[in-house]
Amino acid sequence: MNILLVCAGGMSTSLLVEKMKKEIEKRNLKDINVEANAIEKLESIIGDYDVILVGPQIRYKEPYIKSLCEEKGKPYIVIPPAVYGLVDGAKTLDLAINLKNS
């Protein structure tokens, strides 16, 4: 499964991606791939991913993200601020996995 994290510039989400990768290694989940990118790129790369996680600082773009994700049939979720602030890789990974399975 391919997980994409997006925020304004893809900077702070990439911190979270590093933590998620560690968690993936810890749980030995070989088929999960996580990447971060800037929201501007979303439209052109969305096809390559299964779930989209959105940094809370760009939740003002949710209407746009929602319509794009619905059009492409991809589930998305805005990461809760507390999880984001603690750079909690484990919780974010659970979030993505649950999103995929729901």
Q: Does 47 bind another protein (CB under 8 A)?
A: no
Residue closer to another protein (CB basis): 43 or 48: 43
Nearest distance from C-beta of residue 101 to another protein, angstroms: 26
Question: Residue from 26, 27, 45, 64 that binds another protein (CB under 8 A)?
Answer: 64
Residues 33, 1 contacting (CB under 8 angstroms): yes
- 69 is known as an active-site residue: no
Assess 82 for contact with another protein (CB under 8 A).
yes
The Cα–Cα gap between 76 and 50 comes to 9
For the chain, the residue count is: 102
The answer to whether 91 contacts another protein (rule: CB under 8 A) is no
- Asked if residues 4 and 46 have their Cβ atoms less than 8 Å apart, the reply is yes
CA–CA dist 76, 27 (Å, integer)? 23
Q: Which stretch binds another protein (CB under 8 A): 29-37, 69-77, 80-88, 94-102?
A: 80-88
Region near another protein per CB under 8 A, out of 25-33, 46-54, 61-69, 92-100: 61-69
Residues 6+ away with beta carbon under 8 Å from 88: 19
